[in-house]
């Protein structure tokens, strides 16, 4: 959870610091493309790290990947705090961005692979909710330090960004490793003990654990036999290529839906509609962060009640309606201001739609994204699959955070029309291409885009286990299934 707290802390901190007079003065009031690059440098670091993410995850395991990535972020926070110029500051943000994808990929996979099947959707959704814990924490800290009459008004939150990573470093090695990763390394006894402890409450004779072990062994064997552990594996079959397309879409949708406009440029947006007092803007920022946390936590608890497609469609439709309303209010406010009038109603409408955006975004793109990715990608490709999603998400974040201030400076409220058009496309894509994954185990979903026969073979070992066969017979059955299963078709 500390991983997404770090991510949320960063996006909110850079947003809040741009409201700070001391930060603006120290860095000579960056604007336009320069402001965009300072914000986007975090995503640049993340993009540079992605080739190494699956290597660390698959070779050293989920826990050690989190441990290593967290240390990189601690180093970045220290450099950021003591930055002497904009170049130092950008380098520090690149370091912070370099560490975060390794941790996110490892943590989301660990939660999905370790969690009890019935609880997995809620656990992976709550993982994303912790982003808003970091966001609210950063907003509160920046609001408090805004009154410090020195550069420590921005240096203090900069060094405190290391705190969530330090918590991760202290605790992550106390967590159990992913049973699926252990089995992939032929450490079956360790995996079995973990499943007994966390999925059967210590019952060594649990039929559920026997069935789960058999299913994981059979499925992993088939996946790994069919995989050369290469990035090219993501494109070898029609099913894999469809997963790639969906991961690309999710990466773009989660960061190109207008959320970066609010996350990184709230102060600029509010100043455009007449809010000029930095303290008042900081108060709105804190309130919005608290509202985000409440709505994200609520949405995370709904993932077991509604199908994935229903929640994604509700999210996309709501965002489109909100952006249309927001664009109209923004135009009315700025047109009135240019004419020397004040349109209070339209100004209030802008604030309303900014707050309405948060629950609309959270019911889909926040609550479901990692749940959906873990379900879409089979174990053998899960690290690379989520890293591939991260690539497109970080590219989208880099582009939008860089281009947003340029768009707002040059065409003002009309820049929001771009997001209206893009959200319309998202609705069409989700409706026609997003598959339903609700109510199935990870092993059953491993072949969601392949033949039904392959999925049946992957879970046949479970039926054998439930029929009361002993461990040797179950393992023999699983091996027979593996020998006759061809997952390359």
What is residue 280's predicted lDDT score, i.e. its pLDDT? Answer: 87
461 located within any domain:
no
CB proximity list for 57: less than 8 A, separation 6 or greater: 65, 102, 105, 106, 109, 383
Collapsed DSSP state (helix, strand, coil) of residue 489: coil
CA distances for 93 relative to 81, 83, 85, 158, 352, angstroms: 11, 10, 13, 10, 32
pLDDT in tens, 284-340: 989 999 999 999 999 888 888 889 999 999 999 999 999 999 999 999 999 988 888
DSSP 384: H
pLDDT in tens, 99-111: 999 998 899 889 8
Short-list 307, 248, 236, 251, CA closest to 450: 236
What is residue 484's predicted lDDT score, i.e. its pLDDT? Answer: 39
Does residue 245 register a pLDDT over 90?
yes
Q: What CATH number should be reported for the domain holding residue 80?
A: 1.20.1250.20
Does residue 343 register a pLDDT over 70?
yes
What is residue 350's predicted lDDT score, i.e. its pLDDT? Answer: 94
206-215, 390-399, 403-412, range with the lowest pLDDT: 206-215
What is residue 137's predicted lDDT score, i.e. its pLDDT? Answer: 92
What is residue 307's predicted lDDT score, i.e. its pLDDT? Answer: 92
State what percent of residues in the chain have pLDDT above 90. Answer: 47
Q: Which domain holds residue 150?
A: 2-181+229-433
Does residue 481 register a pLDDT over 80?
no
Cα angle for residues 421, 425, 430 (degrees, 5° grid): 150
What is residue 309's predicted lDDT score, i.e. its pLDDT? Answer: 94
15-19, 63-67, 283-287, 425-429, range with the lowest pLDDT: 15-19
Confidence of residue 486 (pLDDT cuts 50, 70, 90): very low
What is residue 21's predicted lDDT score, i.e. its pLDDT? Answer: 84
What is the mean predicted confidence (pLDDT) over 16-26? 87
Confidence of residue 117 (pLDDT cuts 50, 70, 90): confident
168 located within any domain:
yes
Does residue 482 register a pLDDT over 50?
no
The rounded distance, in Å, linking the Cα atoms of 441 and 87 is 48
Is the sign of the CA dihedral 348, 350, 351, 353 positive or negative?
A: positive
What is residue 463's predicted lDDT score, i.e. its pLDDT? Answer: 56
60 located within any domain:
yes
Both structure tokens of 91: 């380098």
Alpha helices in 339-470 (DSSP H): 344-361, 369-376, 379-411, 415-433, 442-445, 452-466
What is residue 160's predicted lDDT score, i.e. its pLDDT? Answer: 94
Query: pTM of the predicted model, to two decimals?
Result: 0.77
Mean pLDDT of the chain: 85
The rounded distance, in Å, linking the Cα atoms of 15 and 465 is 54
214 located within any domain:
no
346 located within any domain:
yes
DSSP for 391-411, please give it.
Answer: HHHHHHHHHHHHHHHHHHHHH
Does residue 113 register a pLDDT over 90?
no
- Comparing 131 with 69, which gets the higher pLDDT? 69
Question: Which range has highest mean pLDDT (22-36, 70-84, 333-347)?
Answer: 70-84
252 located within any domain:
yes
Alpha helices in 236-277 (DSSP H): 238-255, 259-272
Does residue 158 register a pLDDT over 50?
yes
Asked if residues 296 and 128 have their Cβ atoms less than 8 Å apart, the reply is yes
What is residue 476's predicted lDDT score, i.e. its pLDDT? Answer: 44
DSSP 176: P
What is the mean predicted confidence (pLDDT) over 415-425? 97
What is the mean predicted confidence (pLDDT) over 75-88? 95
CB proximity list for 171: less than 8 A, separation 6 or greater: none
Question: Which range has highest mean pLDDT (159-163, 222-226, 236-240)?
Answer: 159-163
Asked if residues 312 and 367 have their Cβ atoms less than 8 Å apart, the reply is no
pLDDT in tens, 186-198: 898 999 999 999 8
207 located within any domain:
no
196 located within any domain:
no
Does residue 461 register a pLDDT over 80?
no
Does residue 91 register a pLDDT over 90?
yes
- Number of domains the chain is built from: 1
CB proximity list for 16: less than 8 A, separation 6 or greater: 138, 139, 142, 143, 146, 157, 267, 282, 285
Both structure tokens of 424: 């319309």
The rounded distance, in Å, linking the Cα atoms of 57 and 309 is 29
């Amino acid at each position: 959870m500390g991983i997404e707290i770090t991510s949320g802390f960063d996006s909110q901190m850079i947003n809040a610091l741009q409201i700070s007079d001391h930060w603006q003065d120290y860095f000579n009031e960056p604007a336009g493309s320069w402001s965009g690059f300072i914000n986007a440098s975090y995503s640049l670091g993340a993009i540079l790290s992605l080739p190494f993410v699956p290597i660390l995850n698959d070779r050293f395991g989920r826990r050690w990947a989190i441990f290593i990535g967290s240390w990189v972020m601690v180093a970045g926070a220290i450099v950021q705090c003591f930055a002497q110029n904009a170049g130092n500051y950008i380098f520090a943000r690149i370091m912070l961005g370099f560490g975060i994808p390794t941790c996110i990929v490892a943590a989301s996979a660990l939660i999905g692979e370790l969690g009890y099947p019935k609880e997995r959707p809620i656990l992976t959704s709550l993982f994303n909710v912790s982003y808003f814990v970091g966001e609210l924490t950063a907003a509160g800290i920046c609001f408090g330090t805004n009154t410090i009459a020195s550069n420590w008004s921005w240096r203090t939150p900069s060094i405190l960004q290391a705190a969530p990573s330090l918590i991760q470093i202290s605790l992550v090695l106390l967590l159990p490793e992913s049973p699926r990763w252990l089995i992939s390394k032929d450490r079956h006894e360790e995996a079995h003990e973990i499943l007994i402890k966390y999925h059967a409450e210590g019952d060594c004779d649990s039929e559920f654990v026997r069935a789960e072990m058999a299913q994981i062994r059979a499925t992993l064997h088939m996946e790994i036999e069919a995989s050369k552990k290469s990035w090219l594996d993501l494109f070898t079959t029609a099913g894999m290529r469809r997963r790639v397309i969906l991961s690309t879409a999710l990466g773009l949708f989660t960061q190109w839906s207008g959320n970066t406009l609010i996350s990184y440029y709230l102060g600029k947006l509010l100043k455009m509609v007449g809010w000029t007092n930095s303290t008042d803007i900081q108060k709105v920022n804190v309130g919005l962060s608290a509202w985000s946390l409440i709505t994200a936590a609520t949405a995370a608890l709904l993932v077991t009640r509604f199908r994935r497609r229903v929640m994604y469609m509700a999210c996309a439709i709501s965002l489109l309606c909100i952006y249309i309303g927001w664009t109209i209010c923004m135009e009315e406010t700025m047109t009135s201001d240019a004419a020397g009038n004040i349109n209070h109603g339209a100004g209030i409408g802008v604030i309303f739609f900014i707050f309405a955006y948060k629950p609309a975004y959270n019911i889909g793109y926040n609550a479901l994204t990692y749940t959906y990715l873990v379900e879409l990608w089979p174990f053998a490709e899960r690290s690379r699959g989520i890293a591939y999603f991260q690539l497109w998400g970080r590219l989208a974040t880099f582009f939008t955070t860089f281009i947003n201030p340029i768009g707002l400076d040059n065409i003002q409220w009309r820049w929001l029309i771009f997001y209206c058009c893009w959200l319309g496309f998202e609705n069409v894509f989700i409706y026609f291409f997003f598959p339903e994954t609700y109510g199935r185990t990870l092993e059953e979903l491993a072949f969601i885009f392949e033949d039904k026969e392959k999925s049946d073979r992957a879970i046949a070992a479970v039926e054998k286990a439930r029929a009361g066969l002993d461990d040797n017979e179950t393992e023999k059955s699983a091996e027979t299934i593996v020998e006759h299963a061809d997952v390359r078709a």
